[in-house]
Structure 1
């Protein structure tokens, strides 16, 4: 076959394949910089996710199908995504580089409308990076502005808050469930194995007192395409948290941080937090401890969390509160082989803290701010 004929034939095949590909993803195309996408959690400029629970929310009219195209910085072979339509329970979709179908199962409609709220996040405490390029909805769909809740929680912690070992990861963890109970926005910056103190711990090269102020979680050091940190611009938190919850210290004690050192580290961390969250209420959890099969519970830094709150209050901070979690968790509430809360255990913790907050004076929103 003459060379020109071969080229012409190849060109026709290429155009046909391109047309087929476009046909597969035709519809309403939404670029990743569309201001109507409501991003939550920590995203870098690629844009790509860091920290468990980071994701996005869409308010859509006439949504029937959804595809997302993910770029090369997405975790290989896939990242587990939590998906919820109209505030129904989250389910998992494994997404990889390229085009991914996001199922939109039938969900209750609000006010008999054809509008939907689609929530999507990375649920894993590691291997949780998605690099969003494009979203495509069906023809006839319309993207609408998303209105966030007036209530917004910022949770800070370690594996006990990140959803480690849970089937659905952070979407089954107590901080996420508290946010759902209050119909609130919620961001979770929690890293398994990490100390509060800025020291190496269980594969983490930094502690949370350093990493919380960065875009990236502590896994950045193991990521060859992004082995550096960038400061987090807290103005990107939409909305700014109304309440801050901290549960941390288990890894500090295991790394030999003394009680007095821990108190000082915590106070230094609170001082820095108060440069960002000047008026927000901050809740300091005591440890619920490590329960054993014989009914005993080992608590750490006994009395030190009370000391932290007392000293912070003496500095003039009237918006810091101690949450005493003693007795909240028993051996039935944890995985027997690692003593981390199991699925019912996280539900129990979330319900106990939700009741604590109600007794404190916080009321859940009556309805979600964006109703479909």
Structure 2
């Protein structure tokens, strides 16, 4: 072989080897990332939330200890399965729907025998633990978890951190005697109601004081397992609240008051050492055993300077019909306890009560006067609130008489006329699961009077509200009785502003006044150009929200109040500049009046502000005679015709 050919072959071979090595080195990080990325739903998935005292030493099987350990996840796709190792009774709920019971199962459990709709979903899985014979190897571990299995290509989503309540107790805290034990207990119901994490360090038959014939939480509450010898690593989680309900069984075992008080004080001291910032609640047991000693233990901690220790007086919380056997509450009894505990604990955790005016999951659209934290008042027309909630029923807490409309799960708006107090807005129970609610009060701006005051919602025991995902654009419609929807069948709800907002999937409100003018006329006509900046008894805080679009329709009434064309145009120019000052990024659409009054002046005002995001909209021919109730106000057809013209214009602006 010629030397030149040999050299060429040698160079080609070296080049090929270098290219191969370079390719391997280049792809190594990607391969490493691919092989180390955890499978969605697997034990390594950081988006899984495992609550309780879980043993994670075995990377293939996590073991939940004590009562009601649970795991939850938010996921995409249409199906979810869970895998457990040991035979156990499992409880699960998908999208906050009915709690499903899977009795004495092991291996892979299909939690969605009926596939879900495509989208984002939520699942939790818990166990019936500590109650013979639900765990085949009790008291050895049986709450085992080996991961969720999702659809191909599905993923889990991160969830925000939540407060945590730890419950310490006996069979009452466990939920003994109820159909589903722990998930029927007040501890589970309260945690779900407040939307916080919760765990049960409890065991049926437990005492506070360790005895030869009674399991004592004073020596066991800080252990990883029931009756185990391994200390729990409190770095794994920090409770924000600890509710201790003990003493029911100690009296029957002959524990003296002195011993009980000493051990209770010691337990509070240890809980404080483990949870430096938690609120500690000494729950007076329902049989009122050792109440003086329990109070004294709390007082001892208070005297030591601890300001986060509280005694809970439970006298008269329950009646005879709330018990299964005179000692253990039934489902209704547990629900009552949860409802009584919620307003005690929620403020200390800075968690709003679900359904209250402070509930951040209730979204208030429009201008609401929130100066009274217990009573929110909608200003102007078209103000409403929306929320998502769980459970089968909801009651609206209304102060005094008013009319309002209610839509549930996107259904038709139902009219409630002249109602007050606690108004049941689900007379027919809903299916268990997630629901949506919208309440719109009849406008009080103008001639109609009423008490549009929202004081909260009452949900089912254990039910709660849920955050509304995503952000919708906000549109304000500014005008007079036409914008309010006067003379249409449902006023605000059949007005072009409401219909346009709904068609665009936007939040919307009407800053409109029946009989209002653009100009505050000398004869007393309300000037919307001034009132636009007000709400309630004072100036509106435009930092509350920023409108994405403002649609203005003014001038119909000014002519009959002797407003000159020159004055109208001057005021309109200044008004548009003032709107721009409070909404620097909004699109402002100025409609010519449907009656064609002051049209040249309106067009000229828009031109004069020289703002490329302020535009004039010619409405000539939008409203035919058959679309009018009288010579001025649109009927339902008229508002619908206006909506059809306006929707594409506003859509382009958004």
- TM-score, normalised to structure 1, is 0.74
Shift of 1:120: 0.7
Residue 331 of structure 1 pairs with residue 625 of structure 2: yes
Shift of 1:339: 3.0
Residue 235 of structure 1 pairs with residue 526 of structure 2: no
Does the CA contact (< 8 Å) of 1:193 and 1:201 recur in 2? Answer: no
Shift of 1:281: 0.9
CA offset digits 1:172-207 (Å, max 9, x no partner): 1000000000000112111110111123667x5x31
Residue 301 of structure 1 pairs with residue 626 of structure 2: no
Does the CA contact (< 8 Å) of 1:66 and 1:104 recur in 2? Answer: no
Aligned equivalent of 2:646, options 349, 353, 363? 353
Evaluate the alpha carbon distance shift between residue 33 and residue 304 of structure 1 in structure 2; reply closer, same or farther with a 3 A threshold: same
Does the CA contact (< 8 Å) of 1:56 and 1:120 recur in 2? Answer: yes
Q: Distance in 2 between matches of 1:181 and 1:231?
A: 31
Residue 249 of structure 1 pairs with residue 518 of structure 2: no
Tell me what 2:438 maps to.
119
Task: For residue 156 of structure 1, give the secondary structure of its aligned residue in structure 2.
Answer: strand
Higher RCO (C-alpha under 8 Å, 6+ residues apart): 1
Residue 88 of structure 1 pairs with residue 411 of structure 2: yes
Tell me what 1:211 maps to.
531
Q: Distance in 2 between matches of 1:84 and 1:271?
A: 37
Alignment of 1:26-175 (within 5 A): 30-44=355-369, 45-46=371-372, 47-62=376-391, 64-71=392-399, 74=400, 78-94=401-417, 96-103=419-426, 114-124=433-443, 126-147=448-469, 149-175=471-497
Q: CA RMSD in A?
A: 2.8
Q: Distance in 2 between matches of 1:149 and 1:105?
A: 31
Task: For residue 439 of structure 2, give the secondary structure of its aligned residue in structure 1.
Answer: strand
Q: Distance in 1 between matches of 2:429 and 2:572?
A: 46
Identify the structure with the greater strand proportion.
2
Q: Distance in 1 between matches of 2:632 and 2:455?
A: 39
CA offset digits 1:145-164 (Å, max 9, x no partner): 12464321011100110011
Tell me what 2:586 maps to.
280
Shift of 1:131: 1.6
CA offset digits 1:249-284 (Å, max 9, x no partner): 111111111111101101111111111111211000
Task: For residue 48 of structure 1, give the secondary structure of its aligned residue in structure 2.
Answer: strand
Listed as ranges, the gaps of 5+ residues in structure 1 are 1-14, 217-228, 290-298, 364-372
Shift of 1:48: 1.4
What is the total number of aligned residue pairs between the two structures? 302
Q: Distance in 2 between matches of 1:182 and 1:310?
A: 28
Q: Distance in 2 between matches of 1:29 and 1:277?
A: 32
Q: Distance in 2 between matches of 1:214 and 1:142?
A: 34
Q: Distance in 2 between matches of 1:105 and 1:191?
A: 36
Q: Distance in 2 between matches of 1:105 and 1:254?
A: 50
- TM-score, normalised to structure 2, is 0.43
Does the CA contact (< 8 Å) of 1:285 and 1:325 recur in 2? Answer: yes
Task: For residue 582 of structure 2, give the secondary structure of its aligned residue in structure 1.
Answer: coil
